[in-house]
Amino acid sequence: MLSESFSTLRDLGRLQEIASVLIHYGFGEMLMRLGVRQVLEKAGRKLRWKYAAEQARLEMPQRVRMALEEMGPTFIKLGQIMGTRVDLFPPDWIRELEKLQRRVPPVHFDSLRRELESDLGAPVERMFARFDFRPLAAASIAQVHRARLHDGTEVVVKIRRPGIQRVVDADLRLMDKLAKLLEFEFPELENFHPREIVRQFGLSIHREMNFVNECRNTDRMGDLFRDDPSIVIPRIYWDYVNERVAVQDYIEGVTGLDPGAVEAAGLDRRVLAAVGARAVLRMILVEGFFHADPHDGNLLYLPGNRIAFIDFGMTGRLSATRRNQVVNLLYGIIEQDAPGTADVLLDWSGASDVDPDRLIVDMDNFIDSYHGAPLKQISLTDMLSDLTRLMRQHHLSLPSDLALLFRALVALDGMGRQNDPDFDIFTETAPFLEQVLKARYEPRALAVRGWRNVAQLVEIFASMPAELRRLLRSAHKGTLTFNIDLSRLDYFGWQLERAASWLAIGLVTAALIVSSSILMTIAGGPTPFSLIGFVAASGGVLWLFFSIWKISRARRRKM
């Protein structure tokens, strides 16, 4: 199976680099079990299967984080996505994954110039009145330079790193193959959904690498907050935008990474906490389109206690149905409705092997642990951590859009408490919950939902005769088929076939021994046929013992 997965020679060089890093951080046994060693050795590539002694003292989350950093931009981004899955990974893993570097050493502008001028269609000096060749910031996928348009507008130019597309595509191919192998060889990892994480990551990083998507997100957010003077969204200059280049307003402000500068600028941090909370909650609960990474590095505080949101490469979307579920969950926690909140979790996960009664009991205990506590003493981060821990205990997982939502809420709570020690996110949330609930039960909204349900019901009944006719026709023709997926059946069949081969060889060997013994007892002494039989029987016995020893040795290596 593995040799088929890595049949493409173009990825073997990258596979060797990744394997070397994983071995260095103590994951050699996993690679041995996956068969990576055999693949690389068949391709004539040797690896040193030892890892640094100093790594042995590190905890597993630390080793994973450091390995991801060393493997390069694609794996750093993957770790950042993993860090959003609070439903899959425990808090110590999330804290470590959140440390993954977002800033990396910049590349020299000469390496960017050729592609940039090809995308712009003219030399940089002609397109801009001024261009600062020193980068403002650098990340794993792109770096940012400050410039000035010919009309005097100050802008920032975001440029994708050259060659990053080729590296990302190769890494995604390897990740997909490795995820399949992990699910096959390590059934205990099934709850982490490796293939689903890789699939979501592939979609996310391709969207993020196409700057047209980011610019559209920025424009859309600008339209949503056009009527709110306290929120600033940079303007996009579409004449300069393409897949690898984005140009937008340069906004000068104070970042939340420097609380002293916020105080020196004369800004009210309590007001900033409230403004930021209202903006993010409006994105989530009202608009259903939100900044998925509202940390201090993506916020700028401006005079007049305004906030500018930048970098919309990672955004989340919530359908009306999903927003209603989020509201139902929050309302159920407030009203101590354990069965209602349990139903929401089951709807999110879609799991069929969960004990609902036990889930309701655990949810009731979860709600009771927060009931009666002063709101200011309740940390949303702690509450979400407890909720996701409960979900992990029941093998429930979040849809990807809700994983981003939880990440945004945790970032919001942290930002609010940093600016205001008395920040109470529940008080800020209440007006939005009230607004959504009122909108849900307005006569017009009820009429729209009722008409939609009636239309769907009519459509089901109208299509039923045709669907039934197709089913009966297939049954009559004998073409009605049922598909049963047994993921490890091929492997089981191979084991059964090997065992049968051993049994057959054992029987033949035993027969040779018996027949040769009989021939040796006849008058005239041993014959050539009896000697040949004994030699063949001895060879069969030796081959059988060698095969069993080889399999046992391979199994001990995996353990």
pLDDT value of residue 471 = 75
Average confidence (pLDDT) over 99-122:
84
Q: Nearest to residue 73, comparing CAs of 43, 105, 41? A: 105
Lateral strand order in the sheet of 130-138:
130-138, 142-148, 154-160, 245-249
* Interval 468-484: pLDDT, tens: 777 777 777 777 676 66
* Interval 370-388: pLDDT, tens: 776 665 666 777 787 788 7
Dist. CA 410–CA 280, nearest whole Å: 11
pLDDT value of residue 102 = 60
* Interval 413-434: pLDDT, tens: 777 878 887 777 777 777 777 7
Mode of pairing for the β-strands spanning 130-138 and 315-317: unpaired
Find out whether 388 and 366 touch, Cβ atoms under 8 Å: no
Q: What is the mean pLDDT of the chain?
A: 78
Dist. CA 260–CA 40, nearest whole Å: 53
Length of the chain: 559
- Report the sign of the C-alpha dihedral through residues 548, 553, 554, 555, in that order: positive
Q: At what angle do helices 400-419 and 425-440 cross, to 10 degrees?
A: 140
Is residue 413 annotated as a catalytic residue, yes or no?
Answer: no
Q: Quickly count: other Cβ atoms within 10 Å of residue 254's Cβ.
A: 20
* Interval 520-557: pLDDT, tens: 666 555 666 566 666 666 776 676 666 666 655 555 45
Dist. CA 334–CA 466, nearest whole Å: 47
Sketch the domain layout of the chain as residue ranges: 73-83+97-250, 443-479, 493-558
Catalytic position from the list 11, 87, 171, 293: 293
Find out whether 404 and 316 touch, Cβ atoms under 8 Å: yes
Residue 306, H or E segment: strand 306-309
Confidence of residue 259 (pLDDT cuts 50, 70, 90): confident
Does residue 146 register a pLDDT over 80?
A: yes
* Interval 23-78: pLDDT, tens: 777 776 666 666 665 555 554 555 655 555 556 577 888 888 888 888 887 888 78
Q: Nearest to residue 11, comparing CAs of 74, 63, 70? A: 74
Find out whether 363 and 341 touch, Cβ atoms under 8 Å: yes
Average confidence (pLDDT) over 337-353:
80
Average confidence (pLDDT) over 277-283:
89
Does residue 321 register a pLDDT over 80?
A: yes
Q: Determine if residue 524 is left, alpha or beta; phi over 0 gives left, psi from -120 to 50 gives alpha, anything else beta.
A: left
* Interval 484-530: pLDDT, tens: 655 555 555 656 666 666 676 667 667 666 666 666 666 555 666 56
